[in-house]
Amino acid sequence: MPYVDRQNRICGFLDIEEMESSGKFLRRYFILDTLEGSLVWYMDNPQNLPEGTSYVGSLKLIYISKVSDATKLRPKAEFCFVINAGMRKFYLQANDKQDLVEWVSALNNATKITVPKSGEQVAHNTAEACVDTLGAAKQVSYKTEIIAGVPIITTTQEKGEGQNGADKSGMRKPPGQLPFYLSRSNQDQSVIKAGYCVKQGAVMKNWKRRYFLLDDNALSYFKSDMEREPLRIIPLKEVNKVQECKQSDLMMRDNLFELVTTSRTFYIQSDSPDEMHGWIKAISGAIVAQRGPGRSAASRLNMTLRH
């Protein structure tokens, strides 16, 4: 779901068809900034990218005429909506129906107060947009009719999509999809929750996106959802508590929670508040299921009887 960050901007992940009519959707992190009057998208949450990394796409809000549901226009693209900007249409995919409704509403509300000034004219010539992908810029020409030379920035970069992009076939991967080798049918224990989060390193203190998987006995994380061996397995019996991080303000991280174990505290960032609370609830529930709901109560009773 889109959420409001510390700078009062609406943010979240969406899939976008960057190359018009290509049918290929790529995973991007979007920021709707009404103060700046723009919608920009990055390869990942800028908090997880090297400082100074530029966005890969941008669109001024004054050029957006309408945002609407596009499931009938693109029946093969699930939870699809379209942004109309001059003669260019941007097709995007939300994570689910509610995510679609909230993004459409947020974008339409944002553009209501940024209508073009009466003095602006319609340009009928070729518009040139600067493409800036990971610091590499080049000129791309669009022969189309646009409003006041729409500054549309797109990218043809396909390298390095990894878990944040789409596969080469252009098929969209549903959020939280399990790795092919960790399907429920192939595991003795059931998978409770799985998906990407960002984790702080133990030594370098850098932040890297990892694929997390929670089952009945442990929380594991992998380099990606295609890896066979986990980078680490955290047994639930070693987890003392899981909660929203109290140091999130100091770390300047949104949607941050902490997993406190007997040996270390893990700091993990989710993509949205809903995801953060979902992970906390899932991990807490798995711990209770493993240890038994009466264990903590019984411990308190024993302590009382002793005194």
One-character DSSP codes across 238-301: GEEEEEE-TTHHHHT-SSEEEEEESS-EEEEE-SSHHHHHHHHHHHHHHHHHHH-TTHHHHHHH
Instruction: Considering only residues 85 and 205, tell me which one the structure prediction assigns the higher pLDDT.
Output: 85
Which one of 2.30.29.30, 3.30.70.1070, 2.40.50.140, 1.10.10.10 gives the CATH number of domain 3-111? 2.30.29.30
Burial class (CB in 10 A: 0-12, 13-18, 19+), 186: exposed
Domain ranges of the chain: 3-111, 187-291
Give the integer Cα–Cα distance in Å for 274 and 293.
Answer: 25
The residue type of 257 is F
Burial of 100 (0-12, 13-18, 19+ CB in 10 A): buried
The reported pLDDT for the residue numbered 237 is 93
Query: Tens digit of pLDDT for each residue in 24-47?
Result: 999 999 999 999 999 999 999 998
If one counts every other C-beta atom within 10 angstroms of the C-beta of residue 161, the result is 14
pLDDT (tens digit per residue) in 124-171 = 333 333 333 333 333 343 333 444 444 444 444 444 444 444 443 344
Query: How far is the C-alpha of 7 from the C-alpha of 192, rounded, in Å?
Result: 33
Query: Residue 194 pLDDT more than 80?
Result: yes
pTM: 0.62
Class of domain 187-291: mainly beta
pLDDT at 234 (0 to 100): 95
CB atoms within 10 A of CB 291: 13
pLDDT digits (tens, 9 = 90+) for 73-86: 888 888 999 999 98
pLDDT tens string 217-235: 999 999 999 988 999 999 9
